[in-house]
C-alpha cells in the first residue's frame, strides 16, 4: 500500500486531538496511561509520553521523567508502575506488597518489577528538541541531564549486574510483563514451566469486565501463572538473586537488551557532550561497556537461518524460536551492518510490514505468516504504534532514512482517525484496547514533528482550536477517511473500523 503525507487539515486535527488526549490524561506532574483503565504511571509508557510532550513543552516533558525517577529503588531499578493514588486497578499495591523490600522508595507505592529501558532514548530525543529551540529549553534540558545522569546510569547498571550476573549480554527478565510484550508467544514455552501453588492468594480479575470478547484476553490459567510469578517475587522480598534460584521464569530478553545497549550509548554521548562522567572509571566509560556487552549479546542471539534475534530460556539453556517483532532487536542496537541490512529487508518484506493481509504497512507484533499470529489478541499479532515508532527510530538512526519515513507515514495514516488506540487489529485496521491512550497520542505528535526523515519541526499544540474539534466534526472527518480508504483497499479488506470494548493490560 502506498501512503503519503497527511494533509494540512489532517495534521491540524491530529495535533489538536493528540494534545487534547495528553491534557486530559495529565495529573500535574505525570500522565496516566489512559483515562480510566490505566489510572497510574507506567514506566516505559512515561518514556514515550515524555518524548511526545517535548514537541510542545520541554519543561513538562522533563517533569514526566523527573516524576518517574521518584519511584526508583535503591538498587537502581525503575519499577514498571508508580501508584500515586488509590484505584480499583488490579493487581494494585496491595497485591504487590513491595513494603517487604528494603530497597523500595518511601515516597510512592510501586510495583516490584521493571519494564524496557526506553527512558534515555526519550531523554536524548527531548535534548535534541530543546537544543533546536535553544534558550531556556536548552538550558533546562542540559541541566536535567546533569542532574539525573547518575540515576539513569544506576538504572542501566542494575540491569547490567542484577539482571545479567553471568555477563551473557542478555538482560534477564523474571516475568513476561517486564518485557512490555505481556502475553507474547515469546513466553509460551517458559510459561509452561510456571506452576501456581495452592497457597497462592485468591484473586478476582478486573480485566474481563472491560471486554466484550474474553477470548481476546489471557485465560484464567494463564493469569494465575502471571500472579504466581508476582507471588514468588514477594516471597523472596524482591531479591533478584534469591528469585533466580527459586523462581519459575528466568529468560534473557533480546529486545530489553537491545534497548539497554542503545540507551547506554546515548547516555555516554550526552555525558561526553556535557562533560559528565569522564575518566577511565567514569559513567561514560561504564555506559560504553554496558552498550558493548549487550550489543554483542543481541547479535549472538541472531538465528542465521531466519535472521531474527531470539530470547534465551535461562532455565533450560534453549533459544526461543518465535517470529515476534522482538526479533528485530539488532536494528535497535546496531553493531553489524550486514545484519542491519538483512533485518531492514525482512521488516519491510512480505512476512512483516509488506504482508498482503495488513490494512496498514506498519510493524505487527507477530508475523502474519507465523502460526502464532492471532490478529485480535494483545501482543500476538496486533499492531502497536509505539512498536512502529521504535522500528522507525532504529532505521533512521542506522542511516535508513527512507525506510524510516515509510514507517512514519504509514503510522500516521493508521492514526488518522484520532482514536489513539492502545493497539490495532492488523487486518481490518479497527481499534483495540483502550482509546485515548497517552503513548499513542505522544507517538502521533512525535511523528508529526518529523516532516522529513532527518529533520524535526515543532508541532503547534492547537489549544485555541480544541473547543472547535467537536465529536460531530470528528465523526464526520472519520467517515470521510473511511470512505476514501474503502476506495483503494485491496480485495481482501474489511469494512470500516469499529470500536470494540476496551480491555485492560494484564500487568
pLDDT in tens, 418-461: 999 999 999 999 999 889 999 999 999 999 998 543 445 444 43
Q: Which of 50, 63, 42 is nearest to 22 (CA)?
A: 50
CA distance 261 to 145: 18
Which of 102-106, 300-304, 355-359, 469-473 has the lowest average pLDDT?
469-473
Q: What is the pLDDT of residue 498?
A: 35
Q: In the chain, pLDDT over 70 holds for what percent of residues?
A: 86
Contact 264, 156 (CB under 8 A): yes
Task: Tell me which of 468 and 345 has the higher pLDDT.
Answer: 345
Q: Return the active site residues.
A: 182, 422
Q: Looking at the DSSP assignment, which residues form a beta bridge with residue 114? A: 79
Contact 44, 64 (CB under 8 A): no
pLDDT in tens, 309-323: 999 999 999 999 999
3-class SS letters over 66-85: HHHHCCCCCCCCCECEEECC
> Is the model's pLDDT at 1 over the cut of 60?
no
Task: Tell me which of 220 and 426 has the higher pLDDT.
Answer: 426
CA distance 203 to 201: 7
Using CA atoms, how far residue 346 sits from 331, 349, 457, in Å, is: 11, 5, 30
Contact 68, 119 (CB under 8 A): yes
pLDDT in tens, 376-424: 999 999 999 999 999 999 999 999 999 999 999 999 999 999 999 999 9
Interstrand relation of 431-432 and 423-424 (parallel, antiparallel or unpaired): antiparallel
Amino acid at each position: 500500500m502506498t501512503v503519503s503525507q497527511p494533509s494540512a487539515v489532517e495534521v491540524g486535527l491530529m495535533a489538536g486531538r493528540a494534545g487534547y488526549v495528553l491534557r486530559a490524561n495529565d495529573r500535574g506532574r505525570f500522565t496516566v496511561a489512559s483515562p480510566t483503565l490505566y489510572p497510574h504511571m507506567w514506566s516505559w509508557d512515561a518514556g514515550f509520553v515524555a518524548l511526545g510532550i517535548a514537541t510542545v513543552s520541554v519543561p513538562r516533558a522533563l517533569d514526566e521523567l523527573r516524576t518517574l525517577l521518584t519511584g526508583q529503588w535503591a538498587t537502581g531499578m525503575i519499577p514498571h508502575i508508580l501508584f500515586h493514588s488509590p484505584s480499583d486497578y488490579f493487581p494494585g499495591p496491595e497485591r504487590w506488597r513491595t513494603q517487604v523490600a528494603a530497597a523500595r522508595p518511601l515516597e510512592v507505592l510501586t510495583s516490584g518489577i521493571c519494564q524496557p529501558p526506553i527512558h534515555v532514548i526519550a531523554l536524548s530525543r527531548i535534548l535534541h528538541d530543546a537544543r533546536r529551540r535553544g534558550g531556556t529549553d536548552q538550558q533546562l534540558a542540559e541541566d536535567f541531564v546533569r542532574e539525573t545522569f547518575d540515576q539513569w546510569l544506576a538504572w542501566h547498571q542494575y540491569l547490567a549486574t542484577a539482571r545479567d550476573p553471568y555477563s551473557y549480554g542478555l538482560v534477564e527478565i523474571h516475568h513476561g510483563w517486564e518485557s512490555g510484550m505481556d502475553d507474547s508467544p515469546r513466553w509460551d514455552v517458559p510459561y509452561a514451566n510456571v506452576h501456581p501453588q495452592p497457597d497462592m492468594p485468591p484473586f478476582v480479575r478486573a480485566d474481563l469486565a472491560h471486554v466484550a470478547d474474553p477470548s481476546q484476553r489471557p485465560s484464567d490459567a494463564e493469569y494465575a501463572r502471571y500472579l504466581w510469578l508476582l507471588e514468588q517475587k514477594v516471597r523472596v522480598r524482591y531479591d533478584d538473586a534469591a528469585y533466580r534460584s527459586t523462581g519459575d521464569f528466568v529468560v534473557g530478553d533480546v529486545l530489553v537488551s537491545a534497548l539497554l545497549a542503545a540507551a547506554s550509548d546515548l547516555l555516554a554521548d550526552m555525558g561526553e557532550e556535557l562533560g559528565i562522567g569522564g575518566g577511565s572509571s567514569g559513567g561514560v566509560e561504564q555506559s560504553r561497556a554496558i552498550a558493548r556487552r549487550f550489543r554483542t549479546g543481541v547479535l549472538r542471539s541472531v538465528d542465521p537461518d531466519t535472521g531474527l534475534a531470539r530470547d534465551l530460556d535461562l532455565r533450560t539453556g534453549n533459544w526461543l524460536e518465535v517470529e515476534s517483532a522482538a526479533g528485530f532487536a539488532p536494528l535497535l542496537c546496531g553493531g553489524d551492518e550486514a545484519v542491519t541490512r538483512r533485518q531492514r529487508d525482512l521488516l519491510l518484506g512480505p512476512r512483516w510490514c509488506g504482508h498482503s493481509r495488513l490494512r496498514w504497512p506498519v510493524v505487527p507484533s507477530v508475523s502474519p505468516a507465523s502460526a502464532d499470529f492471532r490478529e485480535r489478541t494483545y501482543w500476538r499479532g496486533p499492531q502497536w504504534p509505539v512498536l512502529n515508532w521504535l522500528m522507525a527510530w532504529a532505521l533512521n538512526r542506522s542511516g535508513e532514512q527512507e525506510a524510516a519515513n515509510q514507517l512514519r507515514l504509514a503510522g500516521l495514516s493508521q492514526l488518522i482517525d484520532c482514536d489513539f488506540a492502545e493497539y490495532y487489529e492488523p487486518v481490518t485496521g479497527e481499534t483495540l484496547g483502550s482509546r485515548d491512550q497517552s503513548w499513542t497520542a505522544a507517538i502521533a505528535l512525535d511523528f508529526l514533528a518529523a516532516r522529513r526523515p532527518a529533520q524535526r519541526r515543532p508541532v503547534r499544540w492547537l489549544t485555541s482550536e480544541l473547543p472547535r474539534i467537536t465529536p460531530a466534526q470528528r465523526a464526520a472527518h472519520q467517515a470521510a477517511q473511511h470512505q476514501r480508504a474503502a476506495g483503494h483497499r485491496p480485495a481482501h479488506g474489511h469494512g470500516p473500523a469499529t470500536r470494540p470494548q476496551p480491555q485492560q493490560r494484564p500487568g
